[in-house]
Structure 1
């Protein structure tokens, strides 16, 4: 059974075949999916998906791209929605200095605020960090995020940073990039990080692994990520599938 720790099935790219695809994925061994919200509209969409499908869970939070849309009312809305038993995390939250869609001070403020919310609700966090490694780590330390732990989504840092991240009760999520020909850094990270601290994700419909790169991603392609991790670790695909399932269930308290 496979656990996709990060997906966006509320995305419009799935509008034409969402239901059929999700039913097919479940039939083919995708046992758990966490649908991560990004903007304000996706909060309700993630809740709706988790209510419709037993194997889909919700993570609620506002992506740094939309940090300038957050206010105290939005935080209260997230808090209220988190009373739903299918909500398993606060996310995806963090910093994005690549696009800088929101001012950096605004991003940092609401990243901290959402971590504090996670601590209040005793929920793990799902962290987005793009070109903001230093500030992301500083906020993790400043807010004592290890109190709730969580997942470092789509990790792009160095081997050294990964080992630092592990000290803060965070797991490293490995996605489609590990299958890319020139992705040396993430392969080094996978090699260095203990298997009991790795989880897998799609970030679908984005970040599609080889050999489907460029097409719409879905959880069925996780097998290619599993196979690549197995190759790097020198173990069987079955061992990777089982370990990442156990790890994800532990993070999201689904054991």
Structure 2
């Protein structure tokens, strides 16, 4: 009888836990929903039917009220906008990721024309475009775009920020000193921003906070104990939450996995079921797991932390809609 009683008690606690999660509100600040995997294509091969509508609906069931679809180039930003127009909960960014900056001059193209097209795309669609970006520096992947090109076109895009007056969705990887050196002189003309998918040090986080920016946390921000310690050093009022899906899922090998309570049943793409997640393909509903790691490691009430990050995000990206 004691065993049965314990099992019933445990089940009841789980149901209360799940219901509590369903009352939370989230805004996923970085989701690559224009990626072909949500159309069922992996590495150029069709594996199953597109299921983006199912992915969005699943996110809503877990309290994700808004999703910002990331634009990483002119074409990618156009695609992100197209996706954003499929659902009232979706919005997007417009910009050029550091690893794509050679596109500014591809095939003898005019960098000024490329920038003008980004600007026009953002200006003509302000109902859906909520940020400039993804832009910044990534010195971990110089094989895609050399340092000189990344710096040149990051600086060029800050003119785009000045003209559109949009907050910025920043990317910074292994380039902290150069990033700060470029951004600081322009700080007064930047209407706020967030450095997303943060994996830097405590000192680097402090420098970003000193410039008045927010810091975005996802599964890649919580891989190691050092990552977690850095996250814990950031004041709650400067945090945002994201999935960066289909990447950055929280895996069993990650230091933060011990805090994960919510599990999602998944199936391999070969056994696709639209009512389940696809194995190894991250999606916005898993944002609850990011919260569980963050709140568990910080020793903070998940409801309070989720609410504060929601308010932070509304303040930066949706101030005019509150």
Do both proteins adopt the same fold according to a TM-score greater than 0.5, normalized to the shorter chain?
Answer: yes
Matches within 5 A, 1:105-254: 105-144=148-187, 147-180=190-223, 183-211=224-252, 215-254=280-319
Q: Larger Rg: 1 or 2?
A: 2
Give how far 1:128 is off.
0.9
Match of 1:52 in 2: 86
Question: Helix, strand or coil: the match of 1:52?
Answer: coil
User: Which residue in 1 is equivalent to 2:116?
Assistant: 76
Distance 2:54 2:89 in 1: 14
CA displacement 1:38-84 (0-9 Å, x = unmatched)? 12321111111221111111101011111011111121111111121
Q: C-alpha displacement at 1:239, in angstroms? A: 1.1
**Pair 1:29 & 2:63 matched:** yes
Alignment gaps of 5+ in structure 1: none
Secondary structure of 1:206's aligned partner: coil
Unaligned runs of 5+ in 2: 1-24, 40-49, 105-110, 255-278
Aligned to 1:143, the other structure's residue is in SS state helix
Equivalent position SS for 1:95: strand
Between 1:171-180 and 1:32-41, the stretch displaced more is 171-180
Maintained 8 Å contact 2:74/2:94: no
Q: Using a 3 Å threshold, how does the CA distance of structure 1 residues 56 and 145 change in structure 2: closer, same or farther?
A: farther
Compute the displacement of 1:184 (Å): 2.2
Aligned to 2:34: 10
TM-score, normalised by the number of residues in structure 1: 0.94
What is the aligned-residue RMSD (CA, Å)? 1.7
Q: Does 1:89 align with 2:123?
A: no
State the SS of the aligned residue for 1:123. Answer: coil
**Post-superposition shift, 1:105?**
1.1
C-alpha distance after superposition, 1:146-203 (max 9, x if no partner) = 73220101112111111111111210111003443xx123212221111000001111
CA contact (8 A) 2:73 2:94 kept: no
> What is the alpha-carbon distance in structure 2 between the residues aligned to residue 153 and residue 145 of structure 1?
20
Contact 1:210 1:224 in 2 (8 A): no
Aligned length: 253
1:236–1:111 Cα change, 3 Å: same
Contact 1:93–1:126 (8 Å) recurs in 2: yes
